[in-house]
Structures are given as C-alpha cells and as structure tokens.
Amino acid sequence: MMDWLPENIWFSVGLKVFFALMMVGAVMTMAGYSVLAERKVSAWMQGRVGPNRTVLPLVDYIPVIGPLLKKLGIFQPLADGLKFLFKEEIVPGHVNKFYYYLAPLIALVPALTTMTVLPFGQMYWPDGSVTTLALADLEVGILFVFAVSSLGVYGIALAGWSSNNKYSFLGGIRSSAQMISYELAMGLSLLPVFLWVSVPGAQTSGLSISGIANFQEGSAWLFLVQPLSALIFLIALFAETNRLPFDMPESETDLVGGFHTEYGSFKFGIFFVAEYAHIVIGSAIFTLLFLGGWHFLPFMSDPWPPNWIGTLLGVGWFLAKTIFLIFFFIWIRWTLPRFRYDQVMHLGWTKLLPLALANLIIYVLIVTLIDQPSSLF
Amino acid sequence: MMSTVDLLFWLFATLSVGGGLSMVFSKHPVSAAMFMIVSLVGVAALFVLLESFFLAVLQVLVYAGAVMVLFLFIIMLLDVGPDAAKQKITNWKTGIFGFFTAALLVYLLVFLGNSNDFVNEGTSSWPALIEDSATSGQSLPFSTNVSSFGYGLMTKYMLPVQIAGFMLLAAMIGVIILSKKDVQQKNDG
C-alpha cells in the first residue's frame, strides 16, 4: 500500500530537502525585494527618491554599474535584515512569554508551507514528455493552499492576545474577524473556476493548480471568462494578506502598530517577512488561477521551443506576471485610503458574499447549458 | 524492525492523542484551544498516511482553520481566564453524556475494530465500477480519489446531502432568530 515511498528513502528525502531549501530561498528573496519595491514604488509615487545610499564595500567603485545599483537600492534588503538581527531583543514584562515567542513562528510557517504545492513552470524533457515543476503537485493543491494559509491567522491572533496590550488585542481580534469573513467569499469565488475547468472527460482534477494553469493554454485566460470571480478573489486576497485598504490588524492611525505593537527586533522582522511572503505567494496563486500561469498570452500557444530554453522562458514569464501582481499590490496600497472597520465587515458580508453566490449560480446555469442544453428547457 | 511509515504513524498518533489529553487537562482555555489544533492537525497527518489527501486537507481547512479560529476568537473576546476551568464537574447531565461518549468509544474500539467491513484495500485512482454501483444496491467501491467523493455525494447519497444541508440551514435560521430576539427585548425594555 505504501508503494509511494521509494526504496532509497534517504536519498529522495535529501533531494526533496534540497529542493525545498531552494524554493524557500527563492520566495524569501522575492519577499525581501518586495520590501525594497514597496519603499521604492511608494517613493516614486510621492515624488521622492527612496533608498539610494546602501552599498556593499568596493561595489561603489565599479564604473556605471556600481552607482546604478546603489541608486536602485539593491543592497537595502541586506541592510534591513541585518538591522533586525542586531537590534536588542526586548521582551516586555507584561506579556505571556510562551505565546509571545510562538506567535511570529506560527505566522511564518504557513506562509512557507503553502509554497510546497506551488507549481512554477513546465519541464520539457528530451524524450518529449512534459512534467510540472513543483515540490509536490497535489491533486487537491488549491484546497491545500487554503487549508494551510487559514492557519496563518493564529499567529496574528496569538500575538495580539499574548501581548496583554489593548491595541495589540484589538488588532488581533479585528484580524481574525476579517479573515473568517473573507475566507468565505474567497472560497465561493473559486467554485465557478473549478466548475469551468472540470469539463466532461477531463484528465486532471479541477482542484489541481497546475491543471487549472494548463487549462488556460491556447484558450482564454480565466479572468476573461470569469471576470467577477477574479475580482472577488483579488479583493479577498487583499483582505487575507492584510494589505491596505484592508490592513485592519495594523492600522497605525488608530492602533499604534496593531498586533505587533509590543514586538521588536527579529521577532518583528519575522512578522514583516511573513506578510510579504504571503503577498508573493498570493500573487503567484492569482497568476496561476486567472492569468494563465506560465503560458504566453490568451488565445496563443506558447511561442518557445519545447526544450530547456522553453522551460526557462516559461518560468521567467510566470515570474514576470507574479512580479507585476506584486507591483499591483504596492500600487493599490499607495493609492487607496484605509477602510473603516465596519466598512470592511459590510463589504465582506453584504456585498462580496451574495455576489459570489450569485456568480456561482449563474455559472452553474451556463455550464449546464453548455454541457447538457436539453436538461434546462 | 519498524518501517518509516510505522514511525510516522506513531509520531502522529502520539501527537493527536497527546494533544487531545493536553487539551482536557490544560488550565488555560487558550492553551486548550491550541492543543486541540495540534490534535486536529495530527489526525490530518494520519489521513495523509492513509493516502486520503482530500480528507486530510478538509480536516485542516474546516476544523483547524475555521472552527478553531472561531473558538479562539470567542475565548479571547470573552476573556476567559484560567479560573473558568476550576469549577467542579458535579452536574448529573455531564455525567450521563460522559458515560454515553465513553460507551460509544468502547463500542467502536471493541466491536467495529474487530469487524472486517472497514478494512478494504482502497485505491487512490478513479474506480471503474463506480457508475454501476451508484444506481444499484451494492455499495460504492472504496476510493480516496477526490472525484469519487463528489460522485458518490451527488448520485447515491443525494438525499442525505440535501437533508444535512436543510438541517444546517434550519440551525442557521434558528441562531439568527435567537440572537435577534435578545436584541429586540433589550430595545423594548
């Protein structure tokens, strides 16, 4: 029964650990540079320059490239990370120590776990076969992402509670209420997508992320077929990643720092990185579900050759779309003001949820009409 | 010689049973809730060892991710401290329900554990026989494939699904009426 465990288990486990570390490295690097992008884009949008001083020793003396890298702030994330690491670690006397230390870890672990099922390209083997590039291409991939990312709320809720501080506590409570509310709309908005992808005689399960991405090859991207689903999913994604205009748990203007008011140094850094890792993974998921993943353009077959060059170009194209969405997240943050808390709840329960339900019913009718026209009339 | 799967089984079984016991015996409600999450995740891991990935994911999604968030939310909102767990359990109702739960557990362990009906060799792929057994009297072939869950629920077990859905709807409407009544009385008085 357990034939899926291969004979030489230590070799395969070691290989998986190596791949997992590479994946963690890639996502964490992207998260680090999203912080830089946030600072740079906000600076440009406000007519400022942004980080332009940090530079490694000697790099500054390389002609043209050195000053350019310095001006772009390429080395800023390194300095930021070291700053978090070397700051004095202060634990306030009034906190619940165990949960105070546990909370940042609980916030980060789900963000790093969801990336195991994230496909990021297609491998064209020399013998003509095609496999998906992912750590584990699960049949129920998208459900796995939902399940694990729903555990992330414990980090914020526990941080708020264990700090024994009214501002932190309000931040934690708001965050859990917001996440519960928007998870519903998020799940419901994806049901029409699963319906649409599970055409009769489909080989892959409609819940597989790579299956949904490959379904869009050479045909319409799903955000063209299901614009309402894409819109609701995008709004819920902003709410689930706690980004402005939904950053209720933080909302500096009325809650000081929200759930991380009592956190400093590296523990705060972990919260920070977890938030940006969520944004990176959320952007990747949206790209895979609605923007065709690693496939070229809607209604066009992939122009790259089916060999290793094609593999690299596909992964690069996927990354380009993901980075555009990260930019979109930042763009929205520096454009829209924050919602009031009751407005967030109102939008979630009385607007998005009924809209997602109506969307589902309409697509059930449309899919039935396409598959079995005689059953309706 | 213990195989890797056995080792993993004992690890996750200890995690789920230990989490459950710690939940019962922990003093603080927040700790109890956290231990319950550990226990639920342990059970999900046991489902994975049985190659039932769909059930494992649902276990985490529904119980660990949604139900327990609500529990924790309420515990934090009401600010239940360690004192709440100190009250003595001498209620006769608690005793009766406890007895029935224990009896059910013993029954499941002793009688159902010995029967062979549940020890089916399953398949993780789509079984070919499923279309015939959906309409005829024989039971659906055992499979952990996602589509087979949906197929069974939407054909052979359509009526139970609708009854369950109807009961949930009734419960939801009941909750709304009960909570609204309270507000109305307050407004009147």
> What would the pLDDT profile of A133-175 be if each residue is shown by its tens digit?
888 887 788 888 888 888 888 888 888 888 888 888 888 888 8
CB contact under 8 A, B69 and A144: no
B36 touches chain A (CB under 8 A): no
All residues of chain B having their beta carbon less than 8 Å from the beta carbon of residue A2 are 3, 5
B51 touches chain A (CB under 8 A): yes
Buried/exposed code over B119-144 (b: 16+ C-beta within 10 A; e: otherwise): eeeeebeebeebeebeeeeeebbebb
The whole-angstrom distance between A105's CA and the closest CA on chain B is 14
What residue in B sits closest to A169 (Cα-Cα)?
Answer: B76
Among residues A367, A363, A370, A368, which one has the least CA distance to residue A190?
A363
CB contact under 8 A, B72 and A176: yes
Regarding pTM above 0.80, the answer is yes
Report ipTM (2 d.p.): 0.80
- Residue B134 confidence (pLDDT): 60
CATH of the domain at B8: 1.20.120.1200
More confident residue, A146 or A206: A146
- Residue B11 is assigned to a structural domain of this protein: yes
B142 touches chain A (CB under 8 A): no
All residues of chain A having their beta carbon less than 8 Å from the beta carbon of residue B147 are 205
Interval A90-111: pLDDT, tens: 888 888 888 888 889 888 898 8
The whole-angstrom distance between B147's CA and the closest CA on chain A is 7
More confident residue, A116 or A199: A116
Q: By three-state DSSP, how is residue A108 classified?
A: helix
- Residue B57 is assigned to a structural domain of this protein: yes
Domain count, chain B: 1
What residue in B sits closest to A194 (Cα-Cα)?
Answer: B147
- Residue A70 confidence (pLDDT): 80
Mean of the per-residue pLDDT values for chain A? 84
B-proximal residues of A, 134-153, CB under 8 Å: 138-140, 143-144, 146-148, 150-151, 153
CB contact under 8 A, A143 and B69: no
What residue in B sits closest to A177 (Cα-Cα)?
Answer: B73
B141 touches chain A (CB under 8 A): no
* Backbone φ/ψ region at A245: left (φ over 0), alpha (ψ -120 to 50), beta: alpha
B61 touches chain A (CB under 8 A): yes
In the A/B pair of chains, how many CB contacts fall below 8 A?
75
Separation of alpha carbons B17 and B25, rounded Å: 12
- Rounded mean pLDDT, A223-236: 90
- Residue B189 confidence (pLDDT): 47
Q: Is residue A165 within 8 Å of A261, Cβ to Cβ? A: yes
Among residues A154, A190, A199, A187, which one has the least CA distance to residue A172?
A154
B128 touches chain A (CB under 8 A): no
Q: At what angle do helices A265-290 and A141-149 cross, to 10 degrees?
A: 150
**Least confident piece of the model among A131-140, A260-269, B39-48, B74-83:** B74-83
- Rounded mean pLDDT, A345-359: 90
Residue identified by tokens 């919260």 is A271
**Least confident piece of the model among A95-99, A250-254, A275-279:** A250-254
All residues of chain A having their beta carbon less than 8 Å from the beta carbon of residue B121 are 1
All residues of chain B having their beta carbon less than 8 Å from the beta carbon of residue A176 are 69, 72-73
Interval A10-48: pLDDT, tens: 787 888 888 889 988 998 889 889 989 998 999 988 988
Phi, psi of B123 (to 5 degrees): -130, 145
Cα separations in angstroms, A315 against A23, A257, A298, B129 = 13, 37, 17, 40
- Residue B98 is assigned to a structural domain of this protein: no
B2, B5, B63, B76, best to mutate vs chain A, most A CBs in 10 Å: B76
Interval B144-184: pLDDT, tens: 677 777 777 888 888 999 999 999 999 999 998 888 876 65
A302 touches chain B (CB under 8 A): no
Range of the domain at B62: 1-81
All residues of chain A having their beta carbon less than 8 Å from the beta carbon of residue B53 are 138-140
Cα separations in angstroms, B71 against A154, B32, B129 = 11, 10, 42
Res. B8: pLDDT tops 80: yes
B140 touches chain A (CB under 8 A): no
All residues of chain B having their beta carbon less than 8 Å from the beta carbon of residue A205 are 146-147
CB contact under 8 A, A173 and B60: no
- Please state, for a pLDDT cut of 70, what percent of chain A lies above it: 94
All residues of chain B having their beta carbon less than 8 Å from the beta carbon of residue A139 are 53-54, 145-146
B163 touches chain A (CB under 8 A): no
Among residues A22, A74, A33, which one has the least CA distance to residue A52?
A74
A376 touches chain B (CB under 8 A): no
Q: Which positions ≥6 away from A376 have C-beta within 8 Å?
A: A365, A368, A369
A123 DSSP assignment: E
The closest CB to that of B57, out of A147, A161, A180, belongs to A147
What residue in B sits closest to A152 (Cα-Cα)?
Answer: B65
- Residue B156 is assigned to a structural domain of this protein: no
Separation of alpha carbons A204 and B31, rounded Å: 41
- Residue B102 is assigned to a structural domain of this protein: no
Separation of alpha carbons A226 and A360, rounded Å: 10
